Structure formats: structure tokens, C-alpha cells
Amino acid sequence: MENTEEKKAVGRIIRVSKAGWGFISSRDIQFTRIFFHWTALRQDTLTFTELHTGMYVEFTPVQVPSKGYRALHVRVIDKPVVEVSDGTEVIEYPADEDEVSELSEQQ
């Protein structure tokens, strides 16, 4: 597998299979379905059986030669806030586990 600099990306789950795999769609990697396996989920996030279509996730994209992209280090995040200023889109989302925990406790 070819690593793409441990760059994080944000996307939404577009399919979850009962067999333990799914696909993510992301603006960071347009026009591509990004495969993920249940083993790619981080331990500090939801379990695979709790995932569903439409959830927002943060992940590390890795390009696999002749197969496309695969998501590693997947974790569920709150819906990102999109701000547009000067025609530039800025996506803000919780940066680490502590911030996600604080948001969960507030709700």
C-alpha cells in the first residue's frame, strides 16, 4: 500500500455492509468511493455495528495500486461546520477525542 502522508480527510458513510465493510464519500477525494473495513475503525470511536449511512467520519486515505482508495484510522465525528469566506470553503470539525467527548457530554 502506498501511503499519502498520513493526511486526514473528512467524509460521510455512503454504504455499510453486514459483512464488515463499507464506503465513504469525501470532498477531499472527489468522485471516488473510499473503501473501509471494520478493522480500520479506531478503538476510541463507535463499533462497526453502530455505524450507519450519513454519519460523518475522519480518516486517513491511502491509495492502493490498481484498487483505489482505502480509509484507515476511521473515527466518527460530529457534523462539520462549513463556513464560506471570500469564496473559500473552510470545514471545521472536532480536532481530537477530548473535544468530541466534551461535545457528547453537553448533549
Q: Is 67 contained in some domain?
A: yes
DSSP one-letter string for 79-101: PPEEEEETTEEEEE---SHHHHH
* pLDDT tens digits, 6-27: 789 999 999 999 999 999 999 9
Domain that holds residue 26: 2-77
Q: Summarize the confidence of residues 60-79 as an average pLDDT.
A: 95
CATH number of the domain that 12 lies in? 2.40.50.140
Residue at 55 is within a domain: yes
Identify whether 102 is part of a domain: no
Residue 53 forms part of a structural domain: yes
CA dihedral 96, 59, 36, 45 (to 10 degrees): 0
- In a domain? residue 98: no
Give pTM, 2 decimals: 0.72
Burial 85-104 (b: 16+ CB within 10 A, else e): eeeeeeeebbeeeeebeeee
How far does the chain reach from its first CA to its final CA, in angstroms? Answer: 39
What's the chain's average pLDDT? 82
**Total number of domains constituting the chain:** 1
User: Is there a domain that residue 45 lies in?
Assistant: yes
Q: What pLDDT, in 10s, does the model give residues 29-57?
A: 999 999 999 999 999 999 999 999 999 99
**Which amino acid type is present at position 79?**
K
